[in-house]
A and B are shown apart, each in its own frame.
Chain A
Amino acid sequence: MSTPEPAAPPGPAAPAAPLLEVTGVDVFYGDFQALFGVSLSVARGGATALVGANGAGKTTLLRTIAGPQAAASGAVRYRGEDLTAAPPHRRISRGIALVPEGRRLFPSLTVEENIQVGAAAAASKDWPLDRIYGVFPMIARRRGQRASTLSGGEQQAVAIARALAAAPTLLLLDEISLGLAPRVVGELYQTLTALRAEGATLLIVEQDLRRAMEACDDLVCLLEGRVALAAPVPAVTREQVVAAYFGEGPPRDFRGSRDSWGSEDQEAAT
């Protein structure tokens, strides 16, 4: 998180280049097309919620950004660098880390080993173990236990800790509240708020619309593999999001000028 932002590319309409820019991405699983020309941009320091019904392509989009899923066409640019064809370890070393859906911890490894493995391609040494344990004191006590013996909330915390070990600038979180008690989810989101304050940029897939809109500045809604709505959270009502979610009415695009996205930038860049 200490790496300086590279200079914005020259051009008349480039106030602050977005941290992440996905343009026109198509993704296929065999013959099935999961994403159709999806574009998305995330400002540095911002938090973007990615919502949509089951099968809308949210997880696919996160995996396309993080690397394990290849895009058939389109581009994934990060800090101006084209990472469309880069393998996951290279994207991680640039500062992108994914907390996968279903946590996907290594069951036979201890909590600490799970976190250490996350540092295999770390972007920097900004997140040593003690700093991670400072963020998640509840898992520090369990560091020597097998990950499979932890409760769901603790496992989710370890999954986030494992991603933090990669010292990401952009943290992708896929359904971290799935199957967890509301109190536990509340604690996890408090942690995310703290991470943002430390400069992290978040892209969050979240089923709970209310929580997504509370936690994020921007919202992107996917519908059957296409962007149905993309707007700053204050600019949309819950009803508009629900309509986009279920595909009622014409697709809307509330995106303002680039400047309104870029202004989020300064806010949390400290």
Chain B
Amino acid sequence: MTWVNAVIQGLLLGGQYALIACGLSLTFGVMRIVNLAHGDLAVCGAYLGLVLSTVFGVPVWYTLPLLLPAAFLAGLALQTLLFGRALRHGVLAPVLVTFGLSIMIENLLQVAATSDPRGLNGGALALASFSLGSHITVSWLFMTAFLTACAVLSGLQLLLSRTSWGRKVRAIADDLDTARLVGIRVRPVFATVTGIAVTTAALAGVFIGTIGTFDPLTGTNTLIFAFEAVVIGGIGSLWGTLVGGMALGVTQVVVGQVNQAYAVLAVNLLFLAVLAVRPNGLFARHQAAREAGALG
């Protein structure tokens, strides 16, 4: 029964990884930017949640109507002022810019908030749980994080497949030059994509801060897990990202059951194994389509 429990906890943990990772997947799939500051942006979301929930004296969930739009606007600004300019200077510039942004965020947070670990006020939800059978107890907080991840991924998938905005995003992901050629205005699309990515990162940050603790350097570790989830799932495939996240989560918890010291190592080994066997990831839809296009 402990193994079933470990798998269930691992799947739920995977939802959190997927929530952090989907924004990374989106920005890379559309703009070919590996946003090395993505994890730090998630941590910024957690700190913003901390400030707002302290100021208003409410659990952090009630601050989301303020926090998420703020994150979206921050994403628009980042894309317009920073990433968009970096993109015009080759493939290396965005990597350097996001790396620099990551360092800046971490150091500014250290100055502003010290390196003390913090936690967010999750209200009653943080303590609630329910039982599956007699041996398995599931935290409602973990369940909420998992369901939120599923909702966010479904919402993104619907936006991408059903709206004219999504059509433009996919066209740009397929072929940027031709997208410009047929009259798509790329900059507003890029800005909204980054806006959404930063919003999902901030939401993930709120869950990170509610489930565990965070400090100014939490973002880097977060980024590594998110990045591995994206690569395992296949770049550009949102559902692949969820599967990738769940594979990471299950590996981490199940191996942790045996020996906690090997949990993170096992995750990284899984990542390397997938890279070796399927370098495009498990659900590399975009690549397949592109090759078919080149051959057809």
Interface residue ranges, A against B (CB under 8 Å): 66-68, 87-89, 92-93, 97-98, 100, 104-109, 113-114, 116-118, 120-122, 146-150, 155, 162-163, 166
Contact = CB atoms under 8 A, between A and B. Distances in A.
A166 B184 CA distance: 11
A260 to B, nearest CB: 33
Contacts of B290: 107-108
Interface stretch (B130-138, B139-147, B168-176, B197-205): B168-176
A88 B289 contact: no
Given A106-B175, A155-B296, A121 B183 contact: yes
Given A106-B174, A108-B174, A148-B289, A117 B296 contact: no
A122 B185 CA distance: 12
A104 B175 contact: yes
Interface string B93-118: 00000000000000000000000000
A247 B177 CA distance: 33
Contacts of B182: 88, 92, 97, 117-118, 120, 162-163, 166
Contacts of B170: 106, 108-109, 113
A122 to B, nearest CB: 8
Interface of B: 164, 167-168, 170-171, 173-175, 177-185, 285-286, 289-290, 292-294, 296
B185 A100 contact: no
5 contacts: A88-B181, A108-B286, A109-B167, A117-B168, A149-B292
Contacts of B173: 108
A162 B175 CA distance: 15
A70 B173 CA distance: 23
Contacts of B286: 108
A120 B184 contact: yes
B43 to A, nearest CB: 34
Contact of B293 (A107, A116, A117): A107
A100 B181 contact: yes
A117 B285 contact: no
Residue in A89, A98, A107, A114 with the greatest tally of chain B CB atoms within 10 Å: A107
Residue in B174, B177, B184, B292 with the greatest tally of chain A CB atoms within 10 Å: B174
Contact of A107 (B164, B183, B292): B292
Contact of B289 (A108, A114, A150, A155): A108
A68 B296 contact: no
Given A108-B285, A147-B293, A155-B296, A98 B181 contact: yes
B148 to A, nearest CB: 28
A66 B178 CA distance: 12
Contacts of A122: 183
Nearest to A67: B181
Contacts of A97: 182
B94 to A, nearest CB: 22
A106 B171 CA distance: 6
A116 B183 contact: no
A118 B293 CA distance: 18
B171 A107 contact: no
B26 to A, nearest CB: 15
A67 B177 CA distance: 11
Contacts of B167: 109, 113, 116-117
A116 B183 CA distance: 11
Closest 9 pairs (CB-CB, A-B): A107-B293, A121-B183, A108-B289, A92-B183, A148-B293, A106-B174, A89-B183, A104-B178, A148-B292
Contacts of A87: 180
A68 B289 CA distance: 25
A119 to B, nearest CB: 8
Contacts of A108: 170, 173-174, 285-286, 289-290, 293
A113 B184 CA distance: 13
Contacts of B292: 107, 146, 148-149
